[in-house]
Structure 1
């Protein structure tokens, strides 16, 4: 990615691996699974990468090097394929209940639009609560998608439970043991986006990234009390920090701290507790809270 978000070890590692997967820098065409807790920035990471490869309009059609799909509830393998197809068109044709027909339709679309990478967000929606035949069919369908379209790679994003996809075994119903396979052979090792720790250069860089995005003044180490309160408010989660700043920019308050206090109530937590209220939470209280989190 030519325009990195900010320096953070897990983010940098995921970015580097995604670039190599996308541009086929390995001996084999591997795909990538990135997991992380809600709010750690998976979707933001994906959309930032997507922004580096905008569609190109031609007289015939739109070339789309990278395609982004955010899954909703996905009950069957056909549901999975249809949600990818609908990233291109709402016209899906007849026999949409047959996986092989939808698979063929999708393959045509991927070739026509010269797709190199498909990003599938919220991939845990493919899984049932207990691993069984439905989850195995999902893993098998993802494997078939890659095998039938050797010129594309996948980036899958999800909560930690999505890691089960790479551990599922599947096979032919008549040759269960002989035909058993795992999706993992088509993927690199599962990567994880982590919460950013407080009181470090990474957190300062993260806050400045979003401060610049929403046209606020930059932070320095002298702003440590506010940086600490931002960490308490967001738990070091990129998605929540982005949400907080995006709401703060439209709050009509002259003082930045008051903007954040009102934005926190509007976007993250409407309870009485507010980390930007200095009467409610002293600087020493903030330090104690950060210490208690890091020791947990």
Structure 2
């Protein structure tokens, strides 16, 4: 299956680039960094891609062409490696405080499971607030991971701050940082997942994707007023739309807009402002809000 979750230009572009990176369509083994604001669909994109390459079992081993790792707080380069190792096994052995031992263990696991692509989500967790020695060590460890496993591509996902990984300069702490960029030469240009604009087919497609997921009626152009309210409620972010529909399914009201009104109060914003309250906000008010956002 080559299709992304639904047709959306930035999703489609990232999907096409990822396939080329994964299947070595370039002369060099490049990797890919995709950034986006929280809720723009990075994790959904990763999950959708992962489903296209499921694991399979042989009598000898479990083949995992694509491995997904979601980082939690990562303070050291060894932490980074261990979180990837633990995607395969919790048995990490001795010397877990030494990066080269963990790197060797990881190399064996990647080879044994025939891994082709590693997806690292929330990669900004390996950065400190200020670029310095720790951030440089993280970037160098990622570079070493790629150099030690030349047949494996890497996709990193994170908030816009993760773009710093490709822009780090390197040098000693006692002198000006030098111009060699350790990671940027191993990666394609940073790609961005964008918030989906309102009043377009992409937004209808996005709403229908989650409507089908939670067994709600699908939308058409005849539902433009409700679609506009959905966009105001979620700011065009897939993560918030998924959350809204997920909560809406638990309410027993038969009237769908009322379900959304209650779900918005319960899951997104409990203040007096509620875009599904038609007594508070008429259709013209919603349009004015959409237009004011688009001009910002």
- TM category (shorter chain) comes to over 0.9
How many residues of Structure 1 are paired with residues of Structure 2 in the alignment? 296
Aligned counterparts of 2:37 and 2:179: Cα–Cα separation in 1: 34
TM-score, normalised by the number of residues in structure 1:
0.96
Secondary structure, aligned partner of 2:69: strand
What are the residue-to-residue correspondences of 1:1-296 with 2, within 5 Å?
Answer: 2-170=2-170, 180-296=180-296
Secondary structure, aligned partner of 1:40: coil
Cα displacement string for residues 133-191 of structure 1 (whole angstroms, at most 9, x for unaligned residues): 00000000000000000111010000001001001133689999899442010000000
Over the aligned positions, Cα root-mean-square deviation in angstroms equals 1.9
Aligned counterparts of 1:157 and 1:118: Cα–Cα separation in 2: 11
Unaligned segments of structure 1, at least 5 residues: none
Tell me which moved more, 188-197 or 274-283: 274-283
Contact 1:116 1:151 survives alignment (8 Å): yes
Aligned counterparts of 2:30 and 2:96: Cα–Cα separation in 1: 29
TM-score, normalised by the number of residues in structure 2:
0.96
Contact 2:53 2:65 survives alignment (8 Å): yes
Tell me which moved more, 135-144 or 51-60: 51-60
Contact 2:260 2:276 survives alignment (8 Å): yes
Secondary structure, aligned partner of 1:143: helix
Q: Deviation at 1:250?
A: 2.4
Aligned counterparts of 2:170 and 2:92: Cα–Cα separation in 1: 28
Contact 1:33 1:187 survives alignment (8 Å): yes
Secondary structure, aligned partner of 1:30: coil
Q: Deviation at 1:118?
A: 0.4
Q: Deviation at 1:261?
A: 1.1
Aligned counterparts of 1:179 and 1:93: Cα–Cα separation in 2: 38
Aligned counterparts of 2:57 and 2:262: Cα–Cα separation in 1: 42
Tell me which moved more, 85-94 or 256-265: 256-265
Q: Deviation at 1:273?
A: 1.6
Contact 1:43 1:121 survives alignment (8 Å): yes
Secondary structure, aligned partner of 2:129: coil
